[in-house]
Amino acid sequence: MRNCFLLSTLLLTALTACESGHIDMNTIIRADGTCRREICFKADSAALADQSIRESNVLGMLGEKGWTCEVQDTFRVKAYRDFSSPDEMAEAMPLQVAGRQVRSKAKLEKQFRWFYTDYVFTETFESIAPTFAIPLTNYMEKDMADFWLTGTPDVMKGYSGLEMKDYLDSMEDAYMHFVNANILNDLMDVLAEHYDGITKTPVSKEEFLASKSELIDRADKMSTDVLNFDPEKLLAENFKTEAYNQALKEDSVISEAWEQRQNVYVSLVMLDVDYQLTMPGGIIEVLKCGDGVFRDGELHYRLNGMRLLAPNYTIRATSSGKNSWALYLSLLIVLLAIGSCFYFLFKGKGRRDSSKMPE
């Protein structure tokens, strides 16, 4: 059984860049509306062939029909698939968290402007916040929560560096309270689901669940140091029994259920994607993507589990592509107009010259 120390250690990595399990995902949008997803990640041919893998953030989705996988070297795999539309591409999102597909909605809008066409691509990722019973907004205001998770909106505009530090410290403290509360809530739910299998329980199942709010309040008053937060110890102290801890150690059904639930947190932290966007023409505007940066003609932004905790995390970019045919057609029209002017000019001159000729 994974212990809470391991879980807490992994959760701490959410505050820093996570190199393990890094994924490159390139979204290529074409002018005709067709598109392609390309993903690169660390794995080998044996891992790709092992259908029993469930914890990977990407392998589980690539078994679907249509994906082509290439092992580029011993530990690097490239997978790609072409789609007829952004809708179809979004349906086949190759990312997952704890075995659940990351869902998104994507669309491409075209705005014809004769000499050029604007292409507006939007992809909105469904929030996985409902996976957790206790929302982050219980511990901080919505704008503050969105900033903590995604960087937008800029709630610290105008703050000095010292003021920013105080603000960030308060957000970190609130976030850790959120994490601890959900870990305790999940542990109690797992125990309640298998309550009949626990021996020498000090209270009934109903009384056990009724105490949840009080225990979460107690956890909220404790230190937010996740390395030292031990929900199992809290239960033992509150109910004055080791029955629950013993069940977690001995009962394989209960321990496996708790391990699966902890995998949600671990998988959330491990999801680390460099999302690259290539569009027709050149990208001229980026909206709703606070950390999007241009590099080598592509827009890059981070897509990770923390950002998916925010509501409807969205990237929206506009590019502009030249309509060569419109330029050629306009040039042809101009040439025809000029030609017509010369034609009628010379035709009129010819008539005047013929009228002046002696009879």
Looking at the fold, whether 349 and 204 belong to one and the same domain comes out as: no
The residue with greater pLDDT, 9 or 56, is: 56
Looking at the fold, whether 341 and 246 belong to one and the same domain comes out as: no
pLDDT at 286 over 60: no
Looking at the fold, whether 335 and 280 belong to one and the same domain comes out as: no
Looking at the fold, whether 309 and 328 belong to one and the same domain comes out as: no
Query: Of the ranges 74-88, 168-182, 343-357, which one carries the lowest mean pLDDT score?
Result: 343-357
The CA distance from 328 to 351, in Å, is 34
pLDDT at 91 over 50: yes
pLDDT given for residue 193 in this prediction: 95
pTM over 0.85: no
pLDDT at 217 over 70: yes
Looking at the fold, whether 230 and 270 belong to one and the same domain comes out as: yes
Element (H, E) at 100: strand 100-101
Looking at the fold, whether 297 and 356 belong to one and the same domain comes out as: no
Instruction: Check: CB of residue 270 under 8 Å from CB of residue 57.
Output: yes
Domain tally, the chain: 2
Looking at the fold, whether 230 and 144 belong to one and the same domain comes out as: yes
User: CA neighbours within 13 Å on the CB side: how many for 221?
Assistant: 6
Looking at the fold, whether 187 and 307 belong to one and the same domain comes out as: yes
Looking at the fold, whether 351 and 211 belong to one and the same domain comes out as: no
- In the block, tokens 């709630």 appear at 155
The CA distance from 7 to 210, in Å, is 26
pLDDT band at 270 (very low <50, low <70, confident <90, very high): confident
Looking at the fold, whether 272 and 357 belong to one and the same domain comes out as: no
Looking at the fold, whether 265 and 339 belong to one and the same domain comes out as: no
Looking at the fold, whether 134 and 251 belong to one and the same domain comes out as: yes
Those residues with Cβ within 8 angstroms of residue 164's Cβ, 6 or more apart along the chain or in another chain = 156
Domain membership of residue 334 as a residue range: 324-359
- Per residue in 48-82, pLDDT (tens digit) is 666 544 447 787 777 667 888 888 777 788 899 99
